[in-house]
Each structure stands twice: as C-alpha cells, then as structure tokens.
Structure 1
C-alpha cells in the first residue's frame, strides 16, 4: 500500500499499472465507511502477494486528483491497468463483492505473459520475450493482440516462415484488431521481396520511367520490407497523385498501413498525412 498525491500519481499509479493492476482508494479521515473499506482492501492486497497494488488518496489533501476522477462521494475506488482507469465503484462492498471486482480487473495469464514479453523486449532480452509471447499464446490461443505482436517480433528477426505460420493461426476477428492491416502490409512486402529485384534496380527503373506505377509500387513494397518507410511513402504518394484508381487505390490504402507501422513517430506521420490529404483534394 502507498499514499498517493498529485506529485507521485504518475509513477505510483499510471506507470505501476502497466505491470500490475493498481486500486486507488479515495478516502478521508472523517469518513466512517472508509474505515470499513480500507482494512478490507489492505487484507486482500496482502493475500494477493504482489499481484496487485493498493494506493490511497486522501481527498482532503488532494482535491485536484479527486475532481479529476469525478469523485463525488467516498469511499470511491478506481482500478487502473495498462496505464488507464478500467473500472470503479463507490461505497463499501462486502468482501465477496470486492473479490468479484478484483477478478474483473485482474489480467488473465495470457495478458500477464504479454506484459512480460513487452518488458523483456524493452530490456533487450529477445529470448525471454519469445518465451513470454509463446506462453501468452499457450494460455490463450485466440489472443489475437498477442499473436499480432509476436508476428511483428518474428518479422523483426526476418523469421518470415514462422511469421506466416502464426498469421495463419489468427482468428476470424483479427482484422478488427489495431495494427492488423499494417502488419499484413509488412508481411506481404517481405513475402514479395524474394520475387523483386534489389532496391537499387527498382530505383533505377522508376528514374527511367517515372510513370511506371507498377515499378513504383514494387519499390515501395521493397522499401517497406526493409523498414524504410519514408522513402516508401514517397513512392506511394506519387502513385496517389498519378492515378487513384491504380489497383483499387492501393497507393492510398498502403500509405495508411505504413502510417500504422510508424505509430511511434507521430510527428512524421502527421507530416505525411497532410501531404496525402493535399494530394486527395
């Protein structure tokens, strides 16, 4: 348990919740029901053995925090996971109700393993990340979000055959997942790379015949496969400007997929989005 203020809320609640759930108990010393709920939460936290963390916010001393989360009556509990508020309740729940609330906000084993994979990647430990991805999918073979991240991991290692096998195991609902279209574009680009000349040859072909949209598309796909996204966008934008109907507007749709692949570079994406919007007008 920790006492949280506006100064340490980001570190103790938001950042911590990216690894384990955090329950924030908004309370006050004068609040009778708070004196009932608080010890119950502390008991359950001790029982959990580190699977979740309790943070307490004294609303008298942290009125800005209470207002930010719309706390109008206390005790009020907000659960955080992955850096976001995911559930809440007001008042005192019986212990059975608290356990049911915790069951809703606690990650399943697959989600826990996915977090471990992300942490391992952030630490540069690819072998641990691979094991964690595989564990997540063993716990839940239908966990499309985890499988998509694993496919991206495999593509980063040029393990195309494995990536294609994993892609074939996605569920019918996978196209609704964030990043699906972008990953499919990258997979197709890498798959097609074997049948394409090298980028220098393709670049020369485009220079010799700027109106050859097929050559531009081939070059864009080769560049995507090599993760050279901005040069690929240059070719795709040229296709959009030349012929929106070329292969059913493939220039524009592929640009959108590349934007998703560059989600970690929002300023660059914004610049290219403006150029695409201008070309469409």
Structure 2
C-alpha cells in the first residue's frame, strides 16, 4: 500500500486502534472520511483499493480515506460489524452515514463520494455520459455514440458508457460493432447491459421483415398468422410504438401460448428488460400479461 501515509494531514492513511479515534472519528467532524476495510488475502480488495485511492486522490482533500486491515484490527471490524471485505464505510460528524460492500466501478465510487462530499462534483467521464444521454434522447445517435466512446476511453469499465455506445450503434444499424462493444462489458449481468443485449437481439430479429405498413396489412388480412403479428410487434417496437408492439404479442399469447415454444411471451419479456422494470410501459403490460396467464 505504497500510496498510504500516516498523520492527521494525510489524504490516504492506514488506521488501527491507536489512531482510529483521532484520525477517523474526530477528523470526520471536519471532512468526510472513508474507511476501507480490507485484507491481504482478499482478491476483490486488490481490485477496489487502487480505484478508491485514485478517486480519493482526485478529490483534492474534499474527502480522505483510512485503510483498515481487518486481520490487524479485529476489534474495530467487530465493533463496525464488518462481515465481508472489501467494505467501505463513510463517516461524517463522528458517525457512519453510508456504506457499500464489494467491488464497484470508478463511476459508482464517484457517485458514492459525491453524496457525502457534493463539492467533489462529477468526473469528466460522467459529464460526457450525461451529454451522451441527452443526445441519445434527442435521437442524435451519432453524436451520442461519440460521447459514450470518449467516456469509455477515460473509463474502460464504465457500464453506462458501454451500454450507451452499444445502444447508439444499434440505432445506427451497426449491429456487428454493437455486439463487439457488449462482448467487452465489465459486468454482463448488469441490468443495463442485459437490456442492451436484448435490444441487440431484437434488432437482429428485425432483419428484413418488411416495411411497417406491409406488416400491418399482413397481420390484418390474416389474424391467425402469428408470425406476421410477431414481426409486426418487432417493427412497432423499432418505431417506438411500444404499447402497440406489446399488444400484438399479448394477442398471440391469448390465442395460442404454445406458439413457437412460448415465443411471444419470451419476446415480451425482452421488451420489459429493454424498457426497465419500473417503466410505466412495463408495469402496464406486465399487468396485462399476468391477467392472461392467471385468469
């Protein structure tokens, strides 16, 4: 831990029973203090530690950090009820106010620190992502993709930037590069990555299924043609007609749930994943789906 030091003026320092009271508890009356509980045998600690030190160092004194080796300070760990490492606890005004356990990305750590030390402000990558999000909402996907890409250059493991760049590429029709971006995601189980993967799969399914008007006519001419209704649902989703897209799938489920091995319900669940679990669209459509399945 060559970046650590001792003394009340250090930004990053080691703490134990001898200095925990003055350097953590008392010092937190003047400045927020992060306490990083770690252990030499803890592999995740070796990942989190350098990220924490980088972000704290860049905060220029707005927050400081004490590093506590739980094997050497078992009494402190027991008093703080530390059950796993790494665990990071924030102290303000002499008491713990927030905490997290496990490895976090640089952007997540910055967000955590911004809550306890607002003057730190967002990082350059966070500013780029915010700008990119706005460009994406305005359907300026080329500009959004460029900003997400810049953010990733600064912070290669940033999940939001990874998903944002992939979604921008999907909107631009560059599915091959979108797939490549997602393949390098730091956490493929993160909900935003899962949503981008669902969007990519849906975009691949769209392929050359035809123009929207032609699909609408095909579905209307033959209501029992479930493939036409399925294709229409994908096209409606691509046209941002989410409620109509869900209704086509719900109609298939109501008529023949077994069609294509429950394919309509599977696709509807992908729509939910892309929209997000708390989106009003998801809430309303999921309610309709439940009424169909359990009526």
1:171 CA drift (Å): 3.8
Match of 2:231 in 1: 218
Q: Are the counterparts in 2 of residues 148 and 167 from structure 1 also a CA contact under 8 Å? A: no
Match of 1:236 in 2: 249
- In structure 2, the CA distance between the partners of 1:77 and 1:221, relative to structure 1 (3 Å rule), is same
1:10-159 correspondence to structure 2 within 5 Å: 35-39=26-30, 41=32, 53=62, 75-78=94-97, 86=100, 105-106=109-110, 112=123, 114-121=125-132, 123-124=134-135, 129-139=144-154, 141=156, 143-155=158-170, 158-159=171-172
SS of 2:97's equivalent? Answer: strand
Q: Work out the CA distance in 1 between the residues paired with 2:216 and 2:177.
A: 32
- Work out the CA distance in 1 between the residues paired with 2:169 and 2:61: 31
State the match for 2:259 in structure 1: 246
Segment drifting more, 222-231 vs 113-122: 113-122
Q: Any unmatched runs of 5+ in structure 2?
A: 1-20, 34-55, 64-89, 112-121
In structure 2, the CA distance between the partners of 1:205 and 1:167, relative to structure 1 (3 Å rule), is same
Task: Give how far 1:243 is off.
Answer: 2.2
Which residue of structure 2 lines up, in the alignment, with residue 164 of structure 1? 176
- Give the length in aligned residue pairs: 208
- The reply to whether residue 257 of structure 1 matches residue 270 of structure 2 is yes
Show the counterpart of 1:99: none
For residues 241-272 of structure 1, give each alpha carbon's deviation from its aligned partner in whole angstroms, at most 9, with x where no partner exists: 12222222121121112123333973332221
Cα deviation for residue 178 of structure 1 reads 0.5
Given the two structures, how large is their TM-score scaled by the length of structure 1?
A: 0.58
- Unmatched tracts of structure 1, length 5 or more: 1-30, 55-70, 80-84, 88-101
Q: Cα 1:147–1:117, aligned 2, differ >3 Å: closer, same or farther?
A: same
Note the C-alpha offset of 1:115.
Answer: 2.0
Which residue is 1:270 aligned to? 283
| Structure 2 CA distance for aligned equivalents of residues 265 and 106 of structure 1 | 25
Q: What's the counterpart of residue 197 of structure 1?
A: 210
Distance in 1, matches of 2:177 and 2:203, equals 14
What is the CA-CA distance between 1:164 and the residue it aligns to? 2.7
* Residue 198 of structure 1: how far off its partner (Å): 1.1
CA distance in 2, matches of 1:128, 1:218: 30
Give the SS at the match of 1:223: helix
